[in-house]
Chain A
Amino acid sequence: EPEVTQTPSHQVTQMGQEVILRCVPISNHLYFYWYRQILGQKVEFLVSFYNNEISEKSEIFDDQFSVERPDGSNFTLKIRSTKLEDSAMYFCASRQREGTDTQYFGPGTRLTVL
């Protein structure tokens, strides 16, 4: 069964550094998402992406965050200048189409900002 994949599984970075988290959604899916989960807290929506543009974003997704689908298969989340509070598990998800389809999640990337 096709799966969403994410790399790396764990990223450690220094505060102020840029990080790029990578996701490969399921190949025929059209809708892409990023969520994050700070340790001990709930999974929070960051952004959704469709047709090469952001379709919805949360208050968390400020100017430090950006998303891109650079080559038709990868879907990336960039954090320009990481802060300590960006430490979290970041999940990518994809969905085939509108309506009743399910969002399929990747295994997550654990980001640790020192």
Chain B
Amino acid sequence: AQSVSQHNHHVILSEAASLELGCNYSYGGTVNLFWYVQYPGQHLQLLLKYFSGDPLVKGIKGFEAEFIKSKFSFNLRKPSVQWSDTAEYFCAVKSSGAGSYQLTFGKGTKLSVIP
């Protein structure tokens, strides 16, 4: 069974600070990887995803993530956070095999950005 670990429960940063949120997954096969964001009172939205190709993927709002296969990691980064990035961030993995539909989520990391 696959699992996802997000190391930080709550991260507090000042505006303009750099962000890196850790995500490690456990699964023996080929995976698809995702970062979702949930702004206060809103639904889960896709930030970025990795299926294949360039392991450095760029998403919306200046976010990027790097897939490091040897480390089973897919860390999320942003060079300079804004107050509007305050939200909860979820890493998720899906087996890329046929017939597998479910996303497995991490517990989420709450990001608070102080103006």
| Complex Cα–Cα for A106 and B108 (A) | 17
Tell whether, in the assembled complex, residue A4 and residue B43 are in contact, meaning their CB atoms are under 8 Å apart: yes
Chain B contact surface mostly: loop
Query: Is the Cβ of B51 less than 8 Å from the Cβ of A48?
Result: no
Given A43-B90, A100-B51, A102-B49: A107 in contact with B104 (beta carbons within 8 A): no
Residues of B within 8 A of A3 (CB): 43
Q: CA separation between A45 and B4, bound complex, in Å?
A: 13
Interface centre among B43, B90, B92, B106 (most CB of A within 10 A): B43
Assess A107 versus B42: contact at CB under 8 Å? Given A43-B90, A100-B51: yes
| Least distance between B2 CB and chain A CB atoms (Å) | 11
Within 8 A of B (CB), among A10-61: 31, 33, 35, 41-45, 48, 50, 55-56, 58
